Amino acid sequence: MSGLAPSEQDLLAPIERAPILSRTLEWASINSGTANLDGLAAMAGYLADALAQLPGEVRLVEPARVEKVDAAGRLREVGHGRHLVLSVRPGAERRVLLTGHMDTVYPREHAFQSCTWLDDDTLNGPGTADMKGGLALMLAGLAAYENAAPALGYDVLVNSDEETGSLSSAALIAELARDKIAALTYEPALPDGSMARARPGSGNYAAVVTGLSAHAGRNPQDGRNAVVAASDLALRLAAAVREGLTINPARIEGGAPNNTVPDLAVLHFNLRPRTPALAQEAQALIDATAAEVGAAHGVQVHVHGQVSRPPKPVTPATEALFGLASRAAADLVALGGQPMRWQDTGGVCDGNNIAACGVPVLDTMGALGGSIHSPQEFMIASSLDARARLTALVMHRLEREGLAA
């Protein structure tokens, strides 16, 4: 165990896999799809009880109001679960933010509701990797850290809406990120231990296209076909893809009976800019393309949405945090850990929001796993105790060494 001081060995000794795995299985059995408010409330209760073993205040925070465009082109309020916050040593001079999410992508009626062992170390189950295993190991790591009479303060945020963009928790994330020296987020790492480095931004949009109805046989020329216009808009946006920017038209809603020229369609699309400059260019492109389509088809196009997750660049402070964590990971190899690798990714998470606040963040501190967002989702069980040790050691060294960029 070269590289680990005796005090660090003592810090990590209490961490065992069995209780972390037991908690992961218990939490994975609770359906907490983002729209399942009852399931989220149940999950929040379990999490509050678990976090109560740590010092500090546990509180539930009401979600911010969120509106989305429905199939009829109208803005409707969307309900969200409450968010859970634990504040430990709020008066400490140096403080860290740790974040995770209690929601999954599997709705209440989804067929994927139970766990199955694929082999002795691979667990297939809803939310096991993304991220109930991550929440369980984060808690175990913090509990071990607290055994060493620590002085570092921290906030833990577990939100209820990460899988749909954290729109009802974005302001809370920004509030809690303020003045933090570093942040750790418990999205899953890849099966080989690779961590996410730079990430693009992400924005979800809905373009409401309003045309004019007419009889499809008697006077179609008097109509203005909203579905055709929405399709043209989708094709133009898809063709605007360039280096560092992707635009994905995902769904068109609306239409009319076959004998009627449709006067309403809603195009839903997502864009992923690699840099803030590309995010600004993309917004200008969307506005210009919507105006062009409106003029070409004689329809009105109203676009709703924005880049809600800014691009996440790698800063010198982020490099320093990765350096501290990678050295800790290397020192833990003798205890079953893995060397830490780092690579850019196309996904987004709350780490984007945190980085936008100027805080260095490692956002794949959770369990190792893969095939997330599918019924093939799996988690590597041996990573639970290994990653809990990594959390405890990173917190311990952040307290003693600080973070020099």
| Residue 403: predicted pLDDT | 86
Stated pTM of the model: 0.95
In this prediction, the residues of the chain whose per-residue pLDDT falls under 50 are 1
pLDDT at res. 405? 55
CA dihedral 208, 213, 215, 221 (to 10 degrees): -90
Q: Which fold has domain 202-308?
A: Alpha-Beta Plaits (3.30.70)
Q: What is the pLDDT of residue 338?
A: 86
Long-range contacts of 174-177 (CB under 8 A, 24+ apart): 174/353, 174/356, 174/357, 176/85, 176/97, 177/97, 177/353, 177/354, 177/357, 177/359
The predicted pLDDT at position 374 comes to 98
Domain segments of the chain as ranges: 6-199+312-401, 202-308
Q: For domain 6-199+312-401, is the CATH number 3.40.630.10?
A: yes
pLDDT digits (tens, 9 = 90+) for 292-331: 999 999 999 999 999 999 999 999 999 999 999 999 999 9
| Residue 2, pLDDT score | 52
pLDDT at position 315 is 95
